[in-house]
A and B are shown apart, each in its own frame.
Chain A
């Protein structure tokens, strides 16, 4: 496993939407060097939990998060934490590609510019190119950076969103069903991309597709009814899970 201390840790996390408890006492450590997959049936809390890791739940009315969540040992819910800065360090890619209605170039450059990561045009150009390279999109768009991001295909849009997340030099990338709206070829390219980004960024991915979790992750967490039922090596979870609930879910006997 990893030789580094965990990139992110969560201890005894509870999340409530009003009176309803969505996450129950979840503790987990996210490695720097591995891709961690969150799986579980709809409504199990996996997306809710993912969103606590960069405080996206802050934007949900009535949502309340308890417990201790740390990034490199630093409490991300501490009052002195700058949430905008946090979301640059912990980037997010969503289910539906959501490029800004601007040029491809601007989509990638935007975050880097507002975070003051580039001095001058040449540096910004370099960041855009490098981010698109890492997202595996550069060769397809380098001659039309001025075209609208929304004119790209779905798979390209999703890679554009990944490039946008990468451009602000994050440490962690959270992905919430990043390929569920894509066809199998575009999905394979996203999965290949995740594989290439592994190690450079700590990655956590929520997916409904168990085969995808098996393909892209090294560690898998199974959530059920807001609890973390089992967390371990992906190869163990899919060949020899310890918990009955995990086994029933992954073998298609759930419910």
Chain B
């Protein structure tokens, strides 16, 4: 893309994109760290994840300020306008992704188990899948790549399938081990949070697609999930 005649405009847009990447990186890390805390049953580590979420919130506020400033001072048009609006919305969604990671961390101390609950071992794989979607959606934004955005949306159904399978496993586990119900119920929420993170990544990808092409991505069939 050509540079703007007014170079400061390019600097503003560059700064906005930088903030979004930074935010995305923190959200990915929050998911990974929440998983580490869960696997190790490490309440201290979980508390750090919760505290670190403030950094994501702070960047979201900064994105808002900068986007509003760009709209007021630069009056962006066409693809510039779509990109600024997309950045504003993406920041809100990434902030929510951070909240889901925080929520997972919050449940770690509640899943107190003397004996290890087996299904815990498959949840990190689901988390990696969700986290990959987040990273790929934000990479698509950085590259202004609508094709990559479409691929993110398509991968959402695999994550939904993963959730369905974990759901069934956990329900079976609860039936067989009624004493673990309260812990396993928390695990169920952990899996649900990861499934929602995938939906949010899909959402980001749709905004990337719109910013890049000016067209709405056709409503895709999203793999149905059982609540």
Residues of A within 8 A of B (CB): 210-211, 238-241, 246-248, 250-255
> Top 4 nearest A-B pairs by Cβ distance?
A240-B214, A253-B2, A250-B77, A251-B80
Asked if B158 is at the interface of the complex by the 8 Å CB criterion, the answer is no
Contact with A along B1-33 (1 / 0, CB 8 A): 111111001000000000000000000000000
Q: Are A240 and B78 in contact (CB under 8 A)?
A: yes
Question: How far does the alpha carbon of A248 sit from the alpha carbon of B78 in the complex, in Å?
Answer: 9
Q: Are A253 and B75 in contact (CB under 8 A)?
A: no
Residues of A within 8 A of B3 (CB): 253
Residues of A within 8 A of B4 (CB): 251-253
Q: A211-B75, A239-B214 are in contact. List 4 more A-B contacts (CB 8 A).
A: A210-B77, A239-B77, A239-B78, A251-B4
Q: Are A250 and B78 in contact (CB under 8 A)?
A: yes
Residue of B nearest to A238 (CB): B77
Contact with A along B61-96 (1 / 0, CB 8 A): 000000000000001111111100000000000000
Residues of B within 8 A of A210 (CB): 75, 77
Residues of B within 8 A of A254 (CB): 5
Question: How far does the alpha carbon of A171 sit from the alpha carbon of B82 in the complex, in Å?
Answer: 38
Q: Are A248 and B81 in contact (CB under 8 A)?
A: no
Q: Are B78 and A252 in contact (CB under 8 A)?
A: no
Q: Nearest Cβ distance between residue B127 and chain A, in whole angstroms? A: 37
Q: Nearest Cβ distance between residue A244 and chain B, in whole angstroms? A: 9
Q: Nearest Cβ distance between residue A41 and chain B, in whole angstroms? A: 11
Q: Are B76 and A251 in contact (CB under 8 A)?
A: yes
Residues of A within 8 A of B79 (CB): 247, 251
Q: Nearest Cβ distance between residue A243 and chain B, in whole angstroms? A: 11
Residues of B within 8 A of A246 (CB): 78
Q: Are B5 and A253 in contact (CB under 8 A)?
A: yes
Of B6, B9, B78, B80, most A-chain CB atoms within 10 Å? B78
> For residues 130 through 165 of chain B, which have their beta carbon under 8 Å from a beta carbon of chain A?
none
Question: How far does the alpha carbon of A239 sit from the alpha carbon of B3 in the complex, in Å?
Answer: 19
Residues of A within 8 A of B215 (CB): 240
Residues of A within 8 A of B75 (CB): 210-211
Q: Nearest Cβ distance between residue B19 and chain A, in whole angstroms? A: 21
Question: How far does the alpha carbon of A28 sit from the alpha carbon of B76 in the complex, in Å?
Answer: 27
Residues of B within 8 A of A247 (CB): 78-79
Question: How far does the alpha carbon of A239 sit from the alpha carbon of B215 in the complex, in Å?
Answer: 10
Question: How far does the alpha carbon of A238 sit from the alpha carbon of B82 in the complex, in Å?
Answer: 10
Of A238, A240, A241, A248, most B-chain CB atoms within 10 Å? A240
Question: How far does the alpha carbon of A254 sit from the alpha carbon of B9 in the complex, in Å?
Answer: 14
Q: Nearest Cβ distance between residue A254 and chain B, in whole angstroms? A: 7
Q: Are B6 and A252 in contact (CB under 8 A)?
A: yes
23 pairs from A and B in contact (CB 8 Å cutoff): A210-B75, A210-B77, A238-B77, A238-B81, A239-B78, A239-B81, A239-B82, A240-B78, A240-B82, A240-B214, A240-B215, A241-B78, A246-B78, A248-B2, A250-B78, A251-B78, A252-B4, A252-B5, A252-B6, A252-B9, A252-B77, A253-B2, A254-B5
Residues of B within 8 A of A252 (CB): 4-6, 9, 77
Question: How far does the alpha carbon of A248 sit from the alpha carbon of B1 in the complex, in Å?
Answer: 9
Q: Nearest Cβ distance between residue A39 and chain B, in whole angstroms? A: 11
